[in-house]
């Protein structure tokens, strides 16, 4: 698996969300179309684990919080960037989503939850903000940002 193959693996997802308003209802639609038990979800999950093991995904950060941008926004991803974070029982840095955020929650520990969500999809609308939080274990979160836009809140 390489980045180009990973981008192709995500194409059904990026095509499915292209042009749709980012709202919690989109998360519900993604949960119906690509549930955690689906072939697509399982393939992306396996690819993330393989890419982390191969050393080209989640290359930044340290214990409990590893992260990294995998794909820059462009026409092949419906102008969505793709990042993956590997989080263990952590409250991450506060940030704002100027254009929204689509999250694929992949628990590594079966009980792990990302901002209250177990395995599946969580969508944040434009201008929302939060501290990305994983409780009850470890989870990978693949998140897609329209135009790659994210604004981290300065610590203070």
User: Would residue 95 count as lying in a domain?
Assistant: yes
Evaluate whether 121 touches 27 at the Cβ level (below 8 Å).
yes
User: Would residue 74 count as lying in a domain?
Assistant: yes
How many Å apart are CA 70 and CA 156, to the nearest integer?
A: 29
Evaluate whether 118 touches 86 at the Cβ level (below 8 Å).
no
In CATH, what number is assigned to the domain containing residue 59?
A: 2.60.120.10
**pLDDT tens, N- to C-terminus, the chain (156 residues):** 899 999 999 999 999 999 999 999 999 999 999 999 999 999 999 999 999 999 999 999 998 999 999 999 999 999 999 999 999 999 999 999 999 999 999 999 999 999 999 999 999 999 999 999 999 999 999 999 999 999 998 865
Residue found by looking up tokens 């997802």 in the block: 13
User: Would residue 50 count as lying in a domain?
Assistant: yes
Domains contained in the chain, number: 1
Q: Which domain holds residue 104?
A: 3-146
């Amino acid at each position: 698996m390489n980045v180009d193959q990973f981008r192709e693996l995500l194409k059904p997802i990026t095509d499915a969300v292209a042009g749709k308003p980012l709202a919690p209802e989109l998360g519900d639609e993604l949960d119906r179309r690509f549930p955690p038990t689906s072939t697509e979800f399982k393939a992306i999950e396996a690819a993330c684990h393989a890419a982390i093991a191969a050393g080209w995904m989640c290359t930044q950060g340290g214990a409990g919080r590893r992260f990294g941008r995998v794909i820059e926004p462009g026409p092949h991803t419906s102008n969505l960037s793709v990042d993956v974070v590997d989080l263990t029982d952590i409250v991450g840095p506060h940030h704002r989503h100027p254009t929204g955020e689509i999250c694929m929650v992949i628990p590594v520990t079966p009980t792990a939850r990302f901002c209250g969500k177990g395995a599946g999809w969580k969508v944040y609308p434009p201008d929302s903000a939060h501290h990305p939080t994983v409780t009850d274990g470890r989870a990978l979160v693949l998140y897609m940002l329209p135009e790659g836009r994210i604004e981290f809140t300065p610590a203070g």
